Amino acid sequence: MKSISENGYNYLSVGSGQPILILHGLMGGLSNFDGVFKYFPKQGYQVIAPELPIYNSSLLNTNVKFFAKFVYKFIKFKNLKDVIILGNSLGGHVGLIFSKLYPKLIKGLVLTGSSGLYENSMGDSYPKREDYNYIKERTEAVFFDPKIATKEIVDEVYKTVNDRKKLIKILAMAKSAIRHNMSNDLPKILAETAIIWGENDSVTPPEVADEFKKLLPNSQLFWIENCGHAPMMEHPEKFNSVMNNWLKEKKL
């Protein structure tokens, strides 16, 4: 699976058919969705994932609404129709804003560990960002099973938060997500929505999923046991099965 660079977009694309558009989180790369990339093309879907311009956009444009418009431009560029959006963490938030702004372009929405209502962050300033063990502990805490946070993942987080330019963008994006609370918008988002949540999510705790279920009119909530903030990483087979069954049930 290699990254495609085209017209200013970097993205991955596997398979053909109805598009599942992946929107990644603030600190999570496209590799977090390896299980989705392997499974859904076999079910007749095209899985396509643009890299969100977290580090490439101007500070003024480092906000969730700009990213939703970025996704709109990407979908138009690729001429995608009847899109199913799958968003984790910040990506779920961007997907929700997209669904509000461009309801006719979306066929279904899958949220997992989504921001938009509430989330715990690692703190406003990463006070101990030069302390590798601190970053390791905080990265492990994202998952139910700390072993999911491999040395490779921890090294990448450590490198990112110790890059001053990247850190400024991360903090700006996190603040934008907190400011852009969607409580009042969710009842107007009518897309069929699957909320797939880890029972042990400490970043967006279980009550956040319950609130999404209450506020989104056409939503169903599915729990994954022994699972933290990234179900598609910790339990890829279970996640894929839940999502695929929901897509079939909704005829999406």
The pLDDT, as a whole number, for residue 122 is: 47
What phi, psi does 43 have (nearest 5°)? -95, 5
User: DSSP secondary-structure letter at 251?
Assistant: T
Domain membership of residue 125 as a residue range: 4-249
CA 171 to chain CA centroid, Å, is: 17
What is the pTM for the complete model shown? 0.95
The pLDDT, as a whole number, for residue 98 is: 97
Which residue's structure tokens are 């790369």? Answer: 29
CB 108 within 8 Å of CB 194:
yes
CA 237 to chain CA centroid, Å, is: 18
Q: What angle do CA 219, 222, 237 make, to 5 degrees?
A: 125
Domain at 52, CATH number: 3.40.50.1820
Question: Distance (Å, rounded) from C-alpha 245 to C-alpha 247?
Answer: 5
The pLDDT, as a whole number, for residue 3 is: 87
The pLDDT, as a whole number, for residue 123 is: 47
CA 249 to chain CA centroid, Å, is: 23
* Positions in the chain short of pLDDT 70: 1, 121-127
Q: How many domains does the chain have?
A: 1
What phi, psi does 194 have (nearest 5°)? -105, 125
Interval 22-35: pLDDT, tens: 999 988 788 899 99
User: Is beta strand 192-198 parallel, antiparallel or unpaired with respect to 106-112?
Assistant: parallel
Interval 147-190: pLDDT, tens: 999 999 999 999 999 999 999 999 899 889 888 999 999 999 99
Element (H, E) at 159: helix 151-161
The pLDDT, as a whole number, for residue 127 is: 63
User: Is beta strand 9-14 parallel, antiparallel or unpaired with respect to 4-6?
Assistant: antiparallel
